[in-house]
Amino acid sequence: MLKISSKLSVRISLTLTAVFLAALAVGAVAMPWIAYSMMHMPQDTVGETLVFLLVYAILAAGGVAGVLMLRLLRLVQKGQVFTVTSISSLRGVSWCCVLAGFLFALLGWYFPLSLAVGFVAVFVGLCLRVMKNVLEEATAIKSENDLTV
């Protein structure tokens, strides 16, 4: 398997996160057109308003997660992985995933496939919670070792 340096890996991750945030912004602007092309309901209904609220809430959660990932990647780039800031960034990303998952599940009323997307988002959020707990414990162990030296 191809092995790349950790510096290049972080740069690639930063670039992909920036592309993600740009795509999110474009998606937010184009959302009415996208939604109308996918929805099979008359315009100006309660359902339409609910769909737009849910979609923009999902986009907001994705935007917050993207910014937190940028912050986390900048900390990794600086070598400040075992810090309270990195733990809180990972915690925030995990909660954004869980929130987006539940919002996608609510959207399942109108788009059944979004139930599967919601399930995956919640699962990713739970995986990130586990990683946050591991990082938190590693940070505590590192702090103890730093004090004993």
Residue 8 lies in a domain: no
Q: What is the reported pLDDT for 70?
A: 97
Q: Which domain does 111 fall in, by range?
A: 19-33+45-148
Residue 126 lies in a domain: yes
Residue 59 lies in a domain: yes
Give the pLDDT band of residue 87 (cuts 50, 70, 90): very high
For the chain, give the mean pLDDT: 91
83: left (phi over 0), alpha (psi -120 to 50) or beta: beta
Q: What is the reported pLDDT for 41?
A: 57
Which range among 23-37, 98-112, 129-143 shows the weakest confidence by mean pLDDT? 23-37
Count of structural domains within the chain: 1
Tell me 41's DSSP state: S
Reported as a single tens digit per residue, the pLDDT across 43-69 is 667 778 888 899 999 999 999 999 999
Residue 38 has pLDDT above 80, yes or no: no
Tell me the average pLDDT across 134-145.
90
Residue 51 lies in a domain: yes
Sign, CA dihedral 97-98-99-101, equals positive
The residue among 69, 71, 73 whose CA lies nearest residue 61 is 69
Residue 40 lies in a domain: no
Residue 149 has pLDDT above 70, yes or no: no
Residue 92 lies in a domain: yes
* Helix, strand, coil content of the chain in percent (nearest 5): 85, 0, 15
Residue 39 lies in a domain: no
Residue 32 has pLDDT above 90, yes or no: no
Residue 40 has pLDDT above 80, yes or no: no
Residue 7 lies in a domain: no
Q: How far is CA 117 from CA 22, 31, 58, 97, in A?
A: 21, 18, 12, 11
Q: What is the reported pLDDT for 78?
A: 94
If one compares 42 and 31, the residue with the highest pLDDT of the two is 31
Q: What is the reported pLDDT for 92?
A: 98
Q: What is the reported pLDDT for 98?
A: 98
